Structure 1
């Protein structure tokens, strides 16, 4: 399982989720986006619908009709009725999860200590490949 830590410093989480979502869908995969914050989930939904001038990233909310057909599902829990192979923790809170090929933990200054703790905890986990990305200006740079 791949776990990517993305340290957000410039762009809002909704914009970063849209970037990740576009890449995941381009690979033919499905995505689950988890946030305990209902307002943040709404902002993410809007960002996904307005992702590009020629396209949008179709998405829906967990619990709504047709959730299993959504390529991107927004939820407050780490359950993927849409069969997602990738999950983004948009609110900076790590959740134990199984069944995903790739996990993205987005964090900022307010959740930096928790992200560091998760990084250390996963260091000894079997079958886990960790990566760390940081925003440098307008670009994402892989640090570790």
Structure 2
């Protein structure tokens, strides 16, 4: 199980997540996007429609239709009704249920850095969990820092 910590310093999650979602879907996977904030779920929904003018990433809000067929499902809880093996926690809140997936993307900003550090430390001794830390440079490009 792999957990990728994404420290958002330049790019907001609405612009950072779509690229990861495309890679998951292009690789044949499914993604569950989780946020406890309704406003953020709506923002992600909108950004997945508009992030690139020449592409479309199939997705839906949980409960808005047939969740099981959605390559990307956006919801409040960590229930992969779409059969996702990848989960993106976009509100900066770590959830232990994410460990039931093959890979978790944990996005956080300066407001949630203390919580992210606590999650990083808590996962250090977990058997079978590989942690990676990604940071942005001043241009918004990601590089692995740990």
- Interval of TM-score (by shorter of Structure 1 and Structure 2): over 0.9
Partner SS for 1:54: coil
Structure 1 residue aligned with 2:94: 94
Structure 2 residue aligned with 1:119: 120
Q: For structure 1, list consecutive stretches of 5 or more residues without a partner in the other structure.
A: none
Structure 1 residue aligned with 2:145: 143
Query: Superposition RMSD on alpha carbons, in Å?
Result: 0.9
Structure 2 residue aligned with 1:3: 3
Deviation above 6 Å: which 4+ runs of structure 1? none
**Aligned counterparts, 1:1-144, within 5 A:** 1-97=1-97, 98-136=99-137, 137-144=139-146
- How many residue pairs get aligned? The number is 144
Find the aligned partners of 1:51 and 1:28 in 2 and give their Cα distance: 20
- TM-score where L is the length of structure 2: 0.95
Q: For structure 2, list consecutive stretches of 5 or more residues without a partner in the other structure.
A: none
State the shift of 1:14 in Å. Answer: 1.1
- TM-score where L is the length of structure 1: 0.97
Find the aligned partners of 2:33 and 2:104 in 1 and give their Cα distance: 10
State the shift of 1:53 in Å. Answer: 2.1
